[in-house]
Amino acid sequence: MEMNAAYNSFVALGDSFTEGMSDLLPDGSYRGWADVLAGRLAARNPDFRYANLAVRGKLIGQIVAEQVDTAAAMEADVVTLVGGLNDTLRPKVDMVRVRDLLTEAVERLAPTCGRLVLMRSPGRNGPVMERFRPRMEELFAHIDTLAARHGALVVDLYGEPVLGDPRLWDVDRLHLTAEGHRRV
């Protein structure tokens, strides 16, 4: 995303990754990468508007049901959508349903915003991740297809080597630290 462009509004959709889980502020709230990005955009525009609709633990069906219509109605200049990873980490997942719901979300959001941004979530190496890697890669391939079809931008955090650094991950090994969110 070009930082020199004039963005007046930003809406973030998703789960704990977008909510900012493990980037804890002194007041007990979370900051996260979306809030960091919004702060940078707001510094360039005093009339900037921002909403982070993300809630930890959400599956793609919940994101579609609870966040997509609200975000679409905001007609923001930038909308980020990160979802489906929680689904892939479940022992039993219907990947066709996950892909269909992600498609529905993109088809509803793309026409309502200036720039839709999708993400390939960061992943860590290790035995647990190896078990889920085929599902994750199926999800990410679908994200690439949707982005090409709808003119969305894809941020490939999955392929970003710096995010493999264990120091950027919280003790739960699922969520990024404050420094991890800043790097995103």
Query: What is the rounded CA–CA span in Å between residue 76 and residue 41?
Result: 13
Helix (H, G, I), strand (E, B) or coil at 120: strand
Domains and their CATH numbers in the chain: 9-183 (3.40.50.1110)
Tokens of residue 167, six digits: 């120091």
Tokens of residue 70, six digits: 């609200």
Q: What is the pTM of this model?
A: 0.88
Q: Residue 30: its pLDDT value, please?
A: 81
Per-block average pLDDT, block size 10, for the chain (184 residues)? 72 88 78 90 92 94 98 97 91 95 98 95 64 87 97 86 72 68 65
Helix (H, G, I), strand (E, B) or coil at 45: coil
